[in-house]
Amino acid sequence: MPPTVLITGAGIAGPVLAFWLQRAGFTVTVVERSAVPRTTGQQIDVRGAALSIVGRMGLEGAVRARTVKEQGIAAVDGAGRRVAEFAARADGSGFTADVEILRGELAAVVYEATRERVEYVWGECVAGVEEVEDGVVHMAFFTIPFDEEKDTGWATWYNAPGGRLIFIRPDVERKRTGAYFGICGSDVPKDYLKLSVPEQQAMWEGLFKDAGGEAERVIKGMYAADDFYMQQIAQTKMAQWSKGRVVLLGDSAEELLQGMLILPSMISD
């Protein structure tokens, strides 16, 4: 009888691990608490070791077909004027990588590559996980209506006073735009997870209504978004990533929005 493995989480790391374990002869079950595959999430880049592994999985063509074609990132001031530009580089050395893809699109590619050989159980989760709170940066992610005039192939990064950030990343291929609020400090209540989505959105409006830049547009789009979510940018330091036959992988092990958002779920030594 083949050895069996249970993987918790059907995002990116879980299905990638399932791909390789199944190929090695394991019987793999992936449990995901969402009732359906998640299609939302921020834009990520695939470069270096991650791109190499995508190629070894035979998925590079499928991934490249779903990229957002971002030309680079521009830093803007409160009036929307560009004060600095960082163009995309094919060698992966810039802010924007050669392969930029929305998290939901990448997850869909990996899921489609594994769904026939891996058992997926939706709407279930492992009980008894204890969350450790340790962080001071919070972010909110959602999509806003695409603007034909403003949303070119360039992403824009705006820093507002008070440790606030507005990051806009258009997907010109699919005419949709990802928006991000970020704030560093203690203005976000510690029990924010107990708030309803409308209450969380009202909180972000209060924090950013005077931020300038495209805050007004982003706030308006936030209320109309059906994929809004927020989280604390935190990292739990652990002495070990495995115990017995239980292993932490990807974000659950160590990741904390590293520099260029290189896809940690696919990187291995």
Q: pTM of the full predicted structure?
A: 0.57
Identify whether 164 is part of a domain.
Answer: yes
DSSP 244: T
- Give the amino acid at 156: T
Same domain, 169 and 123: no
- Lowest-pLDDT range of 58-72, 80-94, 129-143, 249-263: 249-263
Domain that holds residue 192: 137-233
Same domain, 48 and 122: yes
Q: What is the pLDDT of residue 269?
A: 35
Same domain, 260 and 186: no
Identify whether 174 is part of a domain.
Answer: yes
Tens of pLDDT, residues 78-121? 888 889 988 887 776 778 888 889 889 999 999 999 999 999 99
Same domain, 260 and 199: no
Q: Reduced to 3 DSSP states, what percent helix, strand and coil does the chain have, rounded to the nearest 5?
A: 25, 30, 50
Concatenating the DSSP letter of every residue in 153-206 gives SEEEEEEETTTEEEEEEEETTTTEEEEEEEEESS-S-TTGGGS-HHHHHHHHHH
Q: How many helices (H) and strands (E) does the chain have?
A: 6, 14
Identify whether 85 is part of a domain.
Answer: no
Confidence of residue 126 (pLDDT cuts 50, 70, 90): low
How far apart, in whole angstroms, are the C-alpha atoms of residue 105 and residue 68? 10
Number of domains in the chain: 2
In terms of Cα–Cα distance, which of 147, 220, 251, 230 is closest to 181? 230
- Lowest-pLDDT range of 6-15, 52-61, 133-142, 211-220: 133-142
Same domain, 247 and 121: yes
**Mean pLDDT computed over every residue of the chain:** 83
Identify whether 86 is part of a domain.
Answer: no
Q: What is the pLDDT of residue 131?
A: 39
Instruction: List the CATH number of the domain containing 57.
Output: 3.50.50.60
Q: What is the pLDDT of residue 256?
A: 52
Query: 137-144 and 176-184 as β-strands: parallel, antiparallel, unpaired?
Result: antiparallel
CA distance between the termini of the chain: 30
Q: What is the pLDDT of residue 255?
A: 57
Confidence of residue 19 (pLDDT cuts 50, 70, 90): very high
pLDDT at residue 232 tops 50? yes
Percent of the chain with pLDDT over 70: 87
Same domain, 120 and 250: yes
